[in-house]
Amino acid sequence: MEMTPLPVVVPLVMAAVLVGLEAIPGNHRLLDILSLATALVVLCLDLVLFDTALTNTIVYWFGGWAPMGGFPVGIAFVIDPAGAALAALAALLTVMGLLFSWHYFRAIGTFYHSLMLLFLASLQGFTLTGDLFNMFVFFELMGVAAYALTGYKIEDTGPLEGALNFSVMNSIGAFLVLFGIGLIYGRTGGLNLAWAGSWVAKHGADRTLLVAFMLLVIGFLIKGAIVPFHFWLPDAHAVAPTPASMLFSGIMVEVGLYAVARIYWTVFSPSLHFLPLRDLLLCIGLATSLAGGVMACLQRHMKRLLAYSTVSHSGMMLAGIAVLDSNALGGTLLYIIAHGMIKAGLFIGTGIILYHYSSIDEEKLRGKGCQMKMTAFLFCASGLALAGLPPFATGTGKAIIERSAEAAGYGSLSAVFLVCSGLTGGAVLRAGASVFFGVGSPNFMSAPAPTSGDREPPETTSQTGGTPLMMWIPFLLLVAGAFAAGVAPQAAGLAAQAGARFTDGAGYRAAVLTGKESMLWPPLPSAPLRWESGAEAALLAVVVAAFFLFRSPLPDRLVKGLKVVMKRGLSWLRDIHSGYIGDYVTWFMIGASIMVVIAVLL
Amino acid sequence: MNLLPFLVTAWLFLAGLYGIATSRNVIHLVSCLFVAQSSTYVFLLSIGFRRQGTAPILDELPAGARLVDPVVQSLALTDIVVGATVSALILVFALQAHKKSGTLDPRRAPPMRG
């Protein structure tokens, strides 16, 4: 298809144009409109691509350099439904972020629109490409745009520090990705994913290739914020401007996981012993989701709370991928999309609070938000949706993953999912209840937190009157979108189809190298979903929120003892999130060495 | 295959990481990051290296001449451009942080914790 590269080209060109227009003073509305229109165009293009990719994988060779004698000499975009869906999610979140910033960046606006479009272009390229090195370039482009957006409020030390930690950790990840790419190129002689995959299918994966795979996995897991590589995420997401945080949590972290899955299935699935890999990824995924869930409960800085919840959900997504099953992957995809919408919506919620009160400290704002009925409703609904309350699509995705995990003999995964959903959902509900309804007493767990979120630098000039329409409309649309994706009867079928096509490595390689039509996988009728698990998680979330907010009906001394024990245990967890980049790099070295050793022994 | 370039790669990368982990100065930290990055250049070039190979400029060479691999060279070139961009950006952050907090020590500035 001729329009295939347009989702990358259009925002790139527009970013350059907007930099030029920036020089003319007093035209920020023009910039708003142009960037919004660009993101909308990209969204439409992605949806067309998704629709086309559903019937047949799209392969586009740049400059018409098709494979010669079965060897790919050119660079290809290879688009299957999963990649197109993630690209569409990226475009959707950009549209919502730009809508939200309609009022937000009235005062400060330099290069903001260009950076957002650059970020969008790199996300598009990353999800649509079928070439390893292309992936690296878009990965780095994404990084640079993201670092600049994180440090956008350059007048303040918090963003600077967050941006520093973020950029150093992600650069190290990029080096590892580059080592992995170099090793794969040295072994297989090609940079195309399909070519490397067909080489591995023919010759098998030796130790060098296994190490290459592990290096790529570690590099992308840094982006995916998986324990012990996750430390940068809360520092960065908590300080970035709200629209940037929406994109970071909603899609950027997830594309790191997407890259792991993509490389596994296109290149390594034919010849890797998958059982140890499955166990390893499941372990770190579940550890991540537990650590993120607990840390989320300990925060009073609301954006930091959401950032830790992203860590937790990222762990759950990795666990979904790690089941290494097509249905689970489809479920994970649905979960990523629903979570992206909900989490972006929640960040809009904190953005609205910040707009009104110049603070996002849960304790200080207790009861302040009583007037914001609409925001309160959406925020609490999002909290429940985050826990996976049916019929939100988060619940559907989670139920699909749990069903496949049980079929694969990992029944305990459901229990961890339940706990983590309950913790993150509960933390959000607690914050919502105390800010919007003023219930509860000062939270004992977060009282001494050094990162309070009070006296945040305002992102706007005026903050009188009600919430502007352009702020809560995108919130409403996102929550409604996650709801609609859960209610729509086709969603589960589409996810199954996307998962089956994604995990069909042989079909992918044939489509790229020989242009063979891809097989259509009719979604299989399978065991019914356990809807209750979502409802249970939502119930647990309410219980968790209540535990933090209300006096317990248990005897006072028991509660006091419980709190002391918890405080002791959790202070260690809190201490390792030290905020120092040196510590993060040390954790990275420990984790990476263990994983590389495992790859050598595999 | 010669082992030496790969040992150099590992040495540069680990030395860079050690420097970042123990750094008490942000400028020093960025330099260490750049040292770690330079290991990727050595690595990429050594992958495409061929003994007695010459630069891959095809129109000045007779057919069938021994060449080093041009693909990894272009990868290294891209890598250098990316590295320069990222380093410049981080240095700006470091300078700005120095202006605001008066220190370059990444362990002295009040961090966000927990």
Judged by CB atoms closer than 8 Å, whether chains meet at B94 and A163 is answered as no
> Which among A164, A172, A449 has the least Cβ separation from residue B93?
A164
- Which residue from B minimizes the CA distance to A133? B75
**Cis peptide bond upstream of A450, omega within 30:** no
Given a cut of 50, whether residue B66 has pLDDT beyond it is: yes
pLDDT of residue A520: 67
In whole angstroms, what is the distance from residue A340 CA to residue A251 CA?
6
Given a cut of 80, whether residue B1 has pLDDT beyond it is: no
Is this complex scored with an ipTM above 0.85?
yes
A169: closest CA of chain B, how far (Å): 10
The pLDDT mean for chain B works out to: 85
- Which residue from A minimizes the CA distance to B38? A175
> Which among A144, A151, A585 has the least Cβ separation from residue B21?
A585
A529: closest CA of chain B, how far (Å): 37
Instruction: Please check whether residue B104 is in contact with residue B25, taking contact to mean a CB–CB distance below 8 angstroms.
Output: yes
Place A447 in a pLDDT band, splitting at 50, 70 and 90.
Answer: very low
Is A533 exposed, middle or buried, given 0-12, 13-18 or 19+ CB atoms closer than 10 A?
Answer: buried
Task: Could you list the beta-strand ranges (E) of A461-514.
Answer: none
Instruction: Considering only residues B103 and A142, tell me which one the structure prediction assigns the higher pLDDT.
Output: A142
How large is the average pLDDT for residues B21-28?
Answer: 89
Given a cut of 60, whether residue B54 has pLDDT beyond it is: yes
pLDDT of residue A155: 67
A287: closest CA of chain B, how far (Å): 17
* A58-61/A76-79 β-pairing: antiparallel
Angle value at C-alpha A362, between A562 and A447, nearest 5 degrees: 40
Judged by CB atoms closer than 8 Å, whether chains meet at B93 and A167 is answered as yes
Using a CB-CB cut-off of 8 Å, the residues of chain B touching A298 are 114
Selected residue of B33, B93, B95 to mutate for chain A interface (largest A Cβ count, 10 A) = B93
In whole angstroms, what is the distance from residue A380 CA to residue B30 CA?
42
What is the per-residue pLDDT across A501-526, written as a single tens digit (0 to 9) for each?
Answer: 898 888 888 888 888 776 666 666 56
Chain B contact present for A233, CB below 8 A: no
Closest CA to A169 of A121, A257, A236: A236
**Which of A165-174, A449-458, A465-474 is predicted most confidently?**
A165-174
pLDDT of residue A492: 85
What is the per-residue pLDDT across A323-353, written as a single tens digit (0 to 9) for each?
Answer: 988 889 999 999 999 999 999 999 999 988 8
Amino acid at A302: M
A577: closest CA of chain B, how far (Å): 5
Instruction: Considering only residues A346 and A106, tell me which one the structure prediction assigns the higher pLDDT.
Output: A346
In whole angstroms, what is the distance from residue A460 CA to residue A103 CA?
7
In whole angstroms, what is the distance from residue A6 CA to residue A4 CA?
6
Judged by CB atoms closer than 8 Å, whether chains meet at B113 and A451 is answered as yes
What is the per-residue pLDDT across B70-110, written as a single tens digit (0 to 9) for each?
Answer: 888 888 998 899 889 888 998 988 888 888 777 777 777 66
Judged by CB atoms closer than 8 Å, whether chains meet at B40 and A182 is answered as yes
List the structure tokens of A319.
């666990």
Question: Which residue bears the tokens 């229990």?
Answer: A415
Tell me the DSSP string of A142-158. HHHHHHHHHTTSTTSHH
A399: closest CA of chain B, how far (Å): 32
Tell me the whole-structure pTM to 2 decimals: 0.93
Given a cut of 70, whether residue B114 has pLDDT beyond it is: no
User: Which residues face A60 on adjacent strands?
Assistant: A77
Place A151 in a pLDDT band, splitting at 50, 70 and 90.
Answer: confident
Sequence-separated (6 or more) residues with CB below 8 Å from residue A506:
A201, A270
Residues 468-487 of A with CB under 8 A from B: none
Chain B contact present for A155, CB below 8 A: yes
Place A575 in a pLDDT band, splitting at 50, 70 and 90.
Answer: confident
Given a cut of 60, whether residue A445 has pLDDT beyond it is: no
State the DSSP H helix or E strand holding residue A76, giving kind and residue range, or none if neither: strand A76-79
Chain B contact present for A143, CB below 8 A: yes
Judged by CB atoms closer than 8 Å, whether chains meet at A175 and B101 is answered as no
Judged by CB atoms closer than 8 Å, whether chains meet at A171 and B33 is answered as yes
Chain B contact present for A160, CB below 8 A: yes
